[in-house]
Structure 1
């Protein structure tokens, strides 16, 4: 059970995939010490078996693999595809297509929210996955037979899961539901990190415009520095230090050196100089260009109970239809719908409206009610709708 280590072997295997309906794909990678994930192993499952490809082998060219990943005639099947797709997008600038994510498909088919690969293959393939190699160092060579066996199990059982999910989607008429959910995974913007917006991920402790401007400038500097050095953001500057710098706005080396966890050596070095320049840039911004926190709209009086009723309705219809509720509506969506019949949310269009949105409007307008019978929530038609 030896991985493919030469371009010739890889080319031969990929040529054998010609005419295949689909190929299952998984990767093993590390990113603890890098900004971009370091690809350590690629697993491919075709109609005639599965192989592991060693991208770290001397002289290997992954071009044959990349051709398969972009072949429009072969469906690429992943489980929880986002991180795997990010790797290939970073290496090639292209997204594997066409794409099928069994985790998303499982959510559409009633296997719960974000179902794990182990759970899915146990239910669909009757297989048990040996998890002992999950946290192994995939960059170390040589790889052991146990590691390879573990890695290949991620694509061999995936074939059975894919085929069963595909049949269920066809049987239930939900293939289009999956197509809608896959749009985020196939959008290049999903895998591009914009340095000017990464600050929005930070939990800021103040909504003062000048403070947020400094956080934005510092986060953008850190992101570009992490990308340039190919190091994790935390190795460039920890979140805590970034927020402290934004709060105190140091303008001298002495001021910056007093930041907890940095020290004078850092403050006097290149990064310290760039941070001080970044702080000054944030301080020089006109007030009109500083970001402002969006005011949170207060819920109208009486809306809170409606939200809770909609939450119960959502769970009921999703449980009955076998679809994960997070695919249909979020808590924010329920709040918006409770306050406004015309809320611009996914639940009010397409299959979601048919499944939940119409029922939600009927509940709001007193045309249906929720009742408990035989320990189950039931939808009851109301002959004389309650006046609003």
Structure 2
């Protein structure tokens, strides 16, 4: 195992790694006090070598860009979205091609979002130590225990990849993952639209009309401000404070400071910006106001349909040894039940072939389900004809 602490060591490693068939990647970072994650350590493993990269001393990480974009090398991750977000920012590119063992595990009978330690124990028979999982990775020097823990996060990825790839090929499922991996590597996935953040505010569903427009403006202002100052969003203004301010339609600072906690947490300068956002929203025409997707009162109740659909998905997931959540989430099924099939993942690719078309047939009354000796049985009343 090599500890890389300067630019020359990093360049030399990158040259050696360019001849490897795989590159396992993991990162350790902190983001409790910043908007952007602070990279504290990068772990890399090739066919024959493990390297621990210290980003505080090794210089420009952009020297890894040719390695990450080398299409002859398979990049390996476990739950890699946060790692890829960091690589985009620190190295300047998204790795490709890639293989994520957490995503693949769901097609091999493992639970949805299985942990790395559980997967290594199941497939490699090794129990990883968890002692250093929540240590301060920004503190130097790192202990031997921290370095060993970090190395373990990539040491087993090549072995997992070979085993999982063979099993997926045996089941004819290797290319089922193509779309998932392409989405994971797509830089667009990691771009945050400030004007879409309001949807994720806690209790935002309590707002409607102009209040929702105000929340959109204030949440966007908060996002932009947090980025500029590189501090957590909640340090600018909390979710609850935004929602309550918009619910009150606080169009002046006195009204804004009536919201509990705002006067203590928000400066007068920022308060002026918040009030300006709310006043801007007050002038938005009614036909341009945002709306949250939600079940409307005039929509038919779909609870019974969802119960049936979940039973069918559970059956197909069990038959095919796939995690149910991976096959179809509750939100996906809700979209299908309400006729919004174009937005549902279960109506795309292998998921549609496995259960999506059957779900449409079930809703259309072309198939039914019953219990026989305690087992769920699907009866198809006609040939499936799904557009």
TM-score, structure 2 normalization:
0.90
Flag the 1:127–1:319 CA change in 2: closer, same or farther, 3 A. Answer: same
Alignment of 1:328-367 (within 5 A): 328-338=327-337, 343-344=341-342, 345-361=344-360, 363=362, 365-367=365-367
Contact 2:195 2:220 in 1 (8 A): yes
Which residue in the other structure is 2:275 paired with? 276
The alpha carbon displacement at 1:382 in A equals 6.4
Which residue in the other structure is 2:173 paired with? 174
Q: Give the Cα–Cα distance (whole angstroms) in 2 for the partners of residues 250 and 189 of structure 1.
A: 35
Contact 2:237 2:266 in 1 (8 A): no
Question: Which segment drifts farther, 148-157 or 235-244?
Answer: 235-244
The alpha carbon displacement at 1:279 in A equals 2.3
Q: Give the Cα–Cα distance (whole angstroms) in 2 for the partners of residues 380 and 124 of structure 1.
A: 37
Contact 1:253 1:264 in 2 (8 A): no
The alpha carbon displacement at 1:56 in A equals 0.9
Which residue in the other structure is 1:44 paired with? 44
1:287 and 2:303 aligned: no
Flag the 1:271–1:339 CA change in 2: closer, same or farther, 3 A. Answer: closer
1:153 and 2:152 aligned: yes
Contact 2:245 2:256 in 1 (8 A): yes
Alignment of 1:132-281 (within 5 A): 132-202=131-201, 203-263=203-263, 266-268=266-268, 270-281=269-280
Gaps of 5+ in 1: none
Q: Give the Cα–Cα distance (whole angstroms) in 1 for the partners of residues 135 and 9 of structure 2.
A: 26
RMSD: 2.6
Flag the 1:288–1:164 CA change in 2: closer, same or farther, 3 A. Answer: same
CA deviation map 1:33-63 (0-9, x unaligned): 0000000000001111211000011x62223
Q: Give the Cα–Cα distance (whole angstroms) in 2 for the partners of residues 2 and 350 of structure 1.
A: 42
Which residue in the other structure is 1:113 paired with? 112
Gaps of 5+ in 2: none
The alpha carbon displacement at 1:352 in A equals 2.0
Q: Give the Cα–Cα distance (whole angstroms) in 1 for the partners of residues 273 and 327 of structure 2.
A: 45
CA deviation map 1:354-373 (0-9, x unaligned): 22134445555455643333
Q: How many residue pairs were aligned? A: 380
Q: Give the Cα–Cα distance (whole angstroms) in 2 for the partners of residues 245 and 336 of structure 1.
A: 31
Q: Give the Cα–Cα distance (whole angstroms) in 2 for the partners of residues 334 and 282 of structure 1.
A: 34
Flag the 1:218–1:152 CA change in 2: closer, same or farther, 3 A. Answer: same
Flag the 1:125–1:29 CA change in 2: closer, same or farther, 3 A. Answer: same
Moved over 6 A (4+): 381-385
TM-score, structure 1 normalization:
0.89
Question: Which segment drifts farther, 222-231 or 178-187?
Answer: 178-187
Q: Give the Cα–Cα distance (whole angstroms) in 1 for the partners of residues 361 and 209 of structure 2.
A: 42
